[in-house]
Amino acid sequence: MKKIKSILILSFTALVLLSCNKEDETVSSGQESLKVTPEVLEKLKSLSLNTSDVQVIQNTSLEGAVEDAFLVEGDIIITQAQLNKMDLHGGITTEQYRTTNLVSAPRTIKVVGLSGTGTTALTTNMRNGLQAAINRYNNLGLSINFTLTFSSSTSGANIVVRRQTGSAGGVAGFPSGGNPYNSVTLYSGLDSYSTNVNAHVAAHEIGHCIGLRHTDWFSRQSCGQNSNEGTAGVGAILIPGTPSGYDATSYMRACFGSNETGAFNANDITALNYLY
């Protein structure tokens, strides 16, 4: 009976989980200049990224330029140019891992949360969540640390956190050239959730910016799926002290629930200390 009860609980949990994905960002196939080809899927799979729902979206840069990009695992933006340069390089492919490289350390990463009256300005709830996320990173004493200011100016920022109309969740990308990905987008639907959930999503997307990937990339189990992508690719190295299977409370799960606390679990802390 205990096993049946566990299965029922897991089934119910899967129904209430929320994806980081924002479906209405997808560009219709007739307008795409970028294509999800078999070659693209093979490259993503070789990088131990889940290929079950790769999309092409229109991504707006901080400078206002609009370009086609791949949306991978629901919330990771990768351009064609970035994909061409990506390789495992023997990187970590389990709890968290590097794609092309990690952020060069030691260093201070300047984060700016957009403020003001514009549509990209963060709400009070988002600002409080972002502050909590930054505090949690800095409390770990890593070789990277973060400063956070709220401003309408992005001058000197390494990561800009902005709001965009959409369902709950967010998107970001991976670092390149030793620098963090330069933006996190939080969707407006997050404002209806608790500060803890906002902190969880902000920390998760910043995690991508510094090179972390989804802990359940192979199955998307946190999203109620089982895409069965198999084991990690060549060069996979398990971080000592972290699980090789599904980690149900990691902040880097692909999907999140409405009861998130925003905290890092012990495995997250082990992985962050290992990498930084």
Q: Is residue 100 part of a domain?
A: yes
Q: Is residue 4 part of a domain?
A: no
The string of pLDDT tens digits covering residues 3-45 is 333 322 333 333 334 445 443 333 333 444 889 988 889 888 8
Q: How far apart are CA 250 and CA 12, in angstroms?
A: 19
Cβ-contact 180, 159 below 8 angstroms? yes
Q: For residue 140, give the amino acid letter.
A: L
pLDDT value of position 52: 81
Q: Is residue 25 part of a domain?
A: no
The string of pLDDT tens digits covering residues 237-272 is 567 788 878 899 999 998 999 999 999 999 999 999
Q: How far apart are CA 201 and CA 230, in angstroms?
A: 26
pLDDT value of position 192: 96
Q: Is residue 42 part of a domain?
A: no
Q: What is the DSSP letter of 254?
A: S
What's the predicted TM-score (pTM) here? Answer: 0.77
Into how many domains does the chain fold?
A: 1
Q: Is residue 58 part of a domain?
A: no
pLDDT value of position 65: 82
Instruction: Report the CATH number that the domain containing residue 240 is assigned in CATH.
Output: 3.40.390.10
Residues in the chain with pLDDT values less than 50: 1-19, 21-32, 90-100, 229-236
Tokens at 41, concatenated: 């899927």
- Beta-carbon contacts of 51 under 8 Å, excluding residues fewer than 6 positions away, are 41, 44, 45, 72, 229
Tokens at 174, concatenated: 């991976």
- Beta-carbon contacts of 10 under 8 Å, excluding residues fewer than 6 positions away, are none
Residue whose C-alpha is closest to residue 11's, from 158, 225, 193, 182: 225
Q: Is residue 32 part of a domain?
A: no
Q: Is residue 113 part of a domain?
A: yes
What is the secondary structure of 72-84 as a DSSP string? ETTTEEE-HHHHH
Q: Is residue 261 part of a domain?
A: yes
pLDDT value of position 228: 54
Q: Which domain holds residue 123?
A: 89-275
